[in-house]
């Protein structure tokens, strides 16, 4: 019996211990659940206070938190985005954030709804424009791992001078600095005042999409590695013309200390109704230019100085330009030493009479920064330029007709002189040429042409 009583006593003590442990765990769990919104509120407040640059956007766009009122289950915040115009004008756009601090089972610790708050003086016009609807609504889910997913909606507009289908946007950002934007808008039509001929000025966009992604450097706030694409299915500008298959793209890449960026414009079809017949329709228009072999640390510091000047001078354009100029001069040896290269590859478009095409590149060899600063004229001998150009004869003649008979005769005489010298090739209905400038020597179509350097210098001095 004593053995049985002892065993029962130990079992009872064990059960009491388990009950106390269960109660203790329950208290901890309940306390954790109860404290989660408060902790989420602290996390989101700290996170919002730490944001200054928006992922993937230029340093001319900054974000600031004005106020944050944290409650138990929810909080509200007011912020503003500052847009710095090229002329130094600063535009402030205010937003209101409603924060739900209840964590979700999917890893989010808070969700935020953001709406645009128009300034008092324009609020009546905005309400009328959007028929009383919120112009922009952004819903953001914040992850405990530092990421964020935002889904945005833009309200439609149906007014006599502006009709807008509305649209959507998605933004993803990770703690690592990676970001991605997508947007889609079906249509936008704008009707302005009448022109000199009494015709209303108008523009109609259809099928607009935006795509961008990259990695934002946390220190410099520069998206060294990124790509952007805006596509427009069609664009019609009054009676002046129409474009279809329009795409504006850019790419940037940093490899070690080298940085490269390019920008491209593509148009599948273009119709300029007011242009001369020979230039009225174009197809496969391409324009792409870029710069590579840029010293990334030097560029990063120049951008940093520009950002600092923008804050210190309250956006004064003259002072910003002065600060940037001084920074560029400071880093010019490093920029030259990297051997920068500029390219246009290509400018081309197809006309009914043939294809017009141009290619161009100019570069300095790496390793001559100090030499170039000590003797700037030495850079001329180091400069390596080359290019080519071709145009259908029919297109050239059409352009001369537009210039008028007097000018046409002069241009034709000059053309034949260049053909006779071998500087321009006239063959199979095409006019073409190429040139190269290297080691201080100019060649055109493979022929020495240094005598033209003096002519061009004299013309530029007039």
- Give the start-to-end residue ranges of the domains of the chain: 40-218+228-239, 240-377, 383-462
Q: What is the pLDDT of residue 23?
A: 32
Q: Can you tell me the distance from the alpha carbon of 396 to that of 456, in angstroms, rounded to the nearest whole number?
A: 22
Q: 60-91 burial, b for 16+ CB within 10 Å, e for fewer?
A: bebbebeebebeeebbebebebbebeeebeee
Q: What is the pLDDT of residue 28?
A: 33
Query: If DSSP codes are grouped into helix, strand and coil, which group holds residue 27?
Result: helix
Which residues, at least 6 apart from 88, have a Cβ–Cβ distance to it below 8 Å? 315, 316, 317, 318, 320
- DSSP per position, 266-324: EEEEEE-TTS-GGGSEEEEEEEEEEEEEEEHHHHHHHHHHHHHHHHHTTT-HHHHHHHH
Q: Can you tell me the distance from the alpha carbon of 75 to that of 420, in angstroms, rounded to the nearest whole number?
A: 80
The pTM assigned to this predicted structure is 0.79
Q: Tell me the mean pLDDT in the region 33-56.
A: 47
Q: How confident is the model at residue 118 (pLDDT cuts 50, 70, 90)?
A: confident
Tens digit of pLDDT for each residue in 312-336? Answer: 766 677 787 888 899 999 999 999 9
pLDDT at 158 over 80: yes
Among the ranges given (57-71, 245-259, 318-332), the one the predictor scored with the smallest mean pLDDT? 57-71
pLDDT at 85 over 50: yes
Number of residues that this document lists for the chain: 462
Residue pair 306/315 in contact (Cβ under 8 Å)? The answer is: no
Q: Half-sphere exposure of residue 38, counting CA atoms within 13 Å on the CB side?
A: 5
Tens digit of pLDDT for each residue in 380-404? Answer: 899 999 999 999 999 998 888 877 7
Tell which wins on pLDDT, 165 or 372.
165
pLDDT at 250 over 90: yes
Q: Can you tell me the distance from the alpha carbon of 291 to that of 363, in angstroms, rounded to the nearest whole number?
A: 9
Residue pair 267/246 in contact (Cβ under 8 Å)? The answer is: yes
Q: Can you tell me the distance from the alpha carbon of 322 to that of 316, in angstroms, rounded to the nearest whole number?
A: 10
What percent of the chain is modeled with pLDDT above 90?
Answer: 40
Residue pair 322/305 in contact (Cβ under 8 Å)? The answer is: no
Residue pair 247/255 in contact (Cβ under 8 Å)? The answer is: no
Q: What is the mean pLDDT of the chain?
A: 81
Cα→Cα distances 150→143, 242, 287, Å: 11, 34, 33
Q: What is the pLDDT of residue 100?
A: 81
Q: What is the pLDDT of residue 36?
A: 38
């Amino acid at each position: 019996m004593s053995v049985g009583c002892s065993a029962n006593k130990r079992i009872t003590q064990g059960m009491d211990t388990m009950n106390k442990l269960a109660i203790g765990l329950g208290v901890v769990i309940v306390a954790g659940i109860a404290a989660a919104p408060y902790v989420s509120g602290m996390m989101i407040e700290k996170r919002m206070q730490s944001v200054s640059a928006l992922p993937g956007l230029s340093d001319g766009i900054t974000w600031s938190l004005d106020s944050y009122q944290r409650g138990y289950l929810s909080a509200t915040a007011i912020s503003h985005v500052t847009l710095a115009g090229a002329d130094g004008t600063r535009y402030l756009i205010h937003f209101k954030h409603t924060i739900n601090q209840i964590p979700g089972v999917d890893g989010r610790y808070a969700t935020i709804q953001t709406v645009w708050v128009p300034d008092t003086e324009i609020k009546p016009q905005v309400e009328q424009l959007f028929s009383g609807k919120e112009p922009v609504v952004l819903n953001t889910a914040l992850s405990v791992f530092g990421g964020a997913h935002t889904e945005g909606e833009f309200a439609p507009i149906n007014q006599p001078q502006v009709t807008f289908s509305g649209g959507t946007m998605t933004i993803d950002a990770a703690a690592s600095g990676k970001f991605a934007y997508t947007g889609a808008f079906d249509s936008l039509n704008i009707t302005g005042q009448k022109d000199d001929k009494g015709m209303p000025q108008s523009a109609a966009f259809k099928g607009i999409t935006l795509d961008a992604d990259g990695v934002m450097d946390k220190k410099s706030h520069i998206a060294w590695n990124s790509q952007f694409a805006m596509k427009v299915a069609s664009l019609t500008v009054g009676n002046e013309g129409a474009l279809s298959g329009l795409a504006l793209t850019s790419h940037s890449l940093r490899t070690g200390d080298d940085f490269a960026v390019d920008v491209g414009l593509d148009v599948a079809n273009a119709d300029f109704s007011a242009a001369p017949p020979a230039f009225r329709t174009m197809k496969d228009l391409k324009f792409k230019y870029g710069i590579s072999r840029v010293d990334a640390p030097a560029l990063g510091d120049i951008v940093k100085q520009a950002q600092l000047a923008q804050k210190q001078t309250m956006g004064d354009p003259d002072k910003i330009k002065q600060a940037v100029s001084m920074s560029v001069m400071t880093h010019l040896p490093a920029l030259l030493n990297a051997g920068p290269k500029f390219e246009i590859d290509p400018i081309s478009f197809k006309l009914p009479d043939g294809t017009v095409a141009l290619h161009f590149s100019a570069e300095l060899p790496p390793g001559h920064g100090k030499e170039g600063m000590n003797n700037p004229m030495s850079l001329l001998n180091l400069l390596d330029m080359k290019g080519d150009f071709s145009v259908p004869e029919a297109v050239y003649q059409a352009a001369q007709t537009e210039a008028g008979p007097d000018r046409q005769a002069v241009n034709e005489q000059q053309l034949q002189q260049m053909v006779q010298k071998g500087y321009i090739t006239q063959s199979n209905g095409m006019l073409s040429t190429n040139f190269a400038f290297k080691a201080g020597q100019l060649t055109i179509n493979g022929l020495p042409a240094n005598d033209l350097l003096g002519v061009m210098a004299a013309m530029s001095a007039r």
